[in-house]
Amino acid sequence: KQTFGTMIDFLNSQKRLATTDYEMTNMNGRKRYWSAPDRDKILDAVKKELTKNGKIKMTERMEEEIPYLIEEKTKIHKAAIQREGANFQIQSVNADFSKNSMAVIRKEFKKRHYDGRMYNMVYDEIVTDHDEATAQEAHDLKMKIMCDEANKMLKHVPMQVEGHLSHVWTK
């Protein structure tokens, strides 16, 4: 329960940071920038929506709705940034250790002369193809490398890797 609360607090702090500074840096130096809501651009968008891109005339009732619509669009814009900010630290570090894993896997597979190749990466999944003679050994090495690379960055959160061998790529 304490860990869950700590994680929620962390994610909320990242949301606030994203909409305060409109930029973040992860533990490896990767940067992410967002554009702050631009009131003039939002006003233009609202007016275009209300007048169907200038096809209908702006009415007094439409004019009265403008402040509310600007506020709503600003909230939507900030909510999107908050979601991205909460996810950035986790997803960007995951991408960092996944990419590092790919580099080490390639190097180690070449060094061992494995007849195989890496042909896909989906989020934190690295898909490889191997000759059956070395498939199990290569698979085990790949999983070890992925775990080692993750643990190099996340020293206080022990990582585990799941994987399997198959004749076809499956989820």
At 171, is the pLDDT very low, low, confident or very high (cuts 50, 70, 90)? low
Q: What is the pLDDT of residues 36-45, one digit of tens each?
A: 999 999 999 9
Mean pLDDT across 26-54:
96
Q: What is the pLDDT of residues 124-162, one digit of tens each?
A: 899 999 999 999 999 999 999 999 999 999 888 888 999
The whole-model pTM stands at 0.79
At 1, is the pLDDT very low, low, confident or very high (cuts 50, 70, 90)? low
Instruction: Identify the three-state secondary structure at position 1.
Output: coil
pLDDT for the residue numbered 147:
95
* Contact indicator for 82, 18 with CB cutoff of 8 Å: yes
Q: CA quadruple 163, 164, 169, 171: dihedral positive or negative?
A: negative
Question: How high does pLDDT run on average in the chain?
Answer: 93
Q: What is the pLDDT of residues 76-126, one digit of tens each?
A: 999 999 999 999 999 999 999 999 999 999 999 999 999 888 889 988 899
Give the DSSP letter string of 21-63: HSEEE-TTS-EEE-PPP-HHHHHHHHHHHHTTTTTSPPPHHHH
Q: What is the pLDDT of residues 54-76, one digit of tens each?
A: 999 999 999 999 999 999 999 99
Q: How far apart are CA 24 and CA 107, in angstroms?
A: 32
Sequence-ordered strand ranges (E) for the chain: 23-25, 31-33, 116-122, 125-130
Q: How far apart are CA 56 and CA 124, in angstroms?
A: 50
